[in-house]
Amino acid sequence: MASRNSSNYRRTYRYLKKICDAKPIIYLTTAIRDKEFIDFFKTHPVKVVVEVGTYKGMSAAYIANFAKTVYTFDIKGYKATSRIWKALKLNKKIRRYIVKSREEMTGIINKLDFDFAFIDGSHLYDDVKADFELVKKCGRVLFHDVSLHPEGLHDDIRRFIAEIGNVKIIGNIGYWNANRNNNNI
């Protein structure tokens, strides 16, 4: 069910996992550490994806194996991001935007036509809500960091997705689909 480029996802995953294993503290929070994230894209086709919260670009690299194009947005750029994408030969499929404000990001995203969004940026309630409002027009949004956290780090995300409803939680991801009941992820 995945796109024509999904045959490379295993190679990409092995490469990214090797980086994570070499520097576990730096890459502790990347979504590619979550099996449910890895499995999600094998069964949910995507074409053009917006990712809010790029960090080192690991999730974008993985998603790019299933998508035609991935647009990423973050407030900070990291040199490692470009190196990772280039090493995996995915740099032409991923378009990175380093934005200085929500207004700048809004201006860019409003001009994009995309069928899927991945939110993994700020964990603060107002930011998660603003990110969702900005990307929900695509009809399918995946949230990262939705699991219970002993220090309450994910509480704002969990509160927001509980408010919008229709979010299926599995492990550390939550999937919102505007077009159907989310009994199945």
Instruction: Decide: 29 and 37 in contact? Cβ < 8 Å.
Output: no
Q: Using alpha carbons, select from 33, 76, 37, 71 the residue that is nearest to residue 56.
A: 76
**Residue 135 CB contacts under 8 Å (≥ 6 apart), including other chains:** 50, 52, 109, 114, 117, 119, 141
The pTM of this model reads 0.89
Spatial contact of 18 and 88, defined as CB atoms under 8 Å apart: no
For residue 153, which amino acid is it? L
In the chain, the amino acid numbered 173 is I
Q: Rounded to 10 degrees, what is the CA torsion of 55, 59, 60, 66?
A: 180
What are the structural domains of the chain?
Answer: 6-177 (3.40.50.150)
Q: Which residues contact 82 (CB under 8 A, 6 or more apart)?
A: 57, 91, 96
Distances (CA, A) of 122 to 5, 90, 154, 156: 30, 25, 10, 10
Q: Rounded to whole angstroms, how far apart are CA atoms 126 and 106?
A: 15
Structure tokens at 33: 């550490």
Q: In whole angstroms, what is the distance from residue 91 CA to residue 156 CA?
A: 33
Other CB atoms within a 10 A radius of the CB of residue 129 amount to: 16
pLDDT values of the chain reduced to their tens digit, one per residue, 185 residues: 444 454 688 888 888 888 877 776 666 678 888 899 999 999 999 999 999 999 889 999 999 999 999 999 999 988 889 899 999 999 999 999 999 999 999 999 999 999 999 999 998 999 999 999 999 999 999 999 998 777 767 799 999 999 999 999 999 999 999 987 655 55
Instruction: Give the model's pLDDT for residue 25.
Output: 61
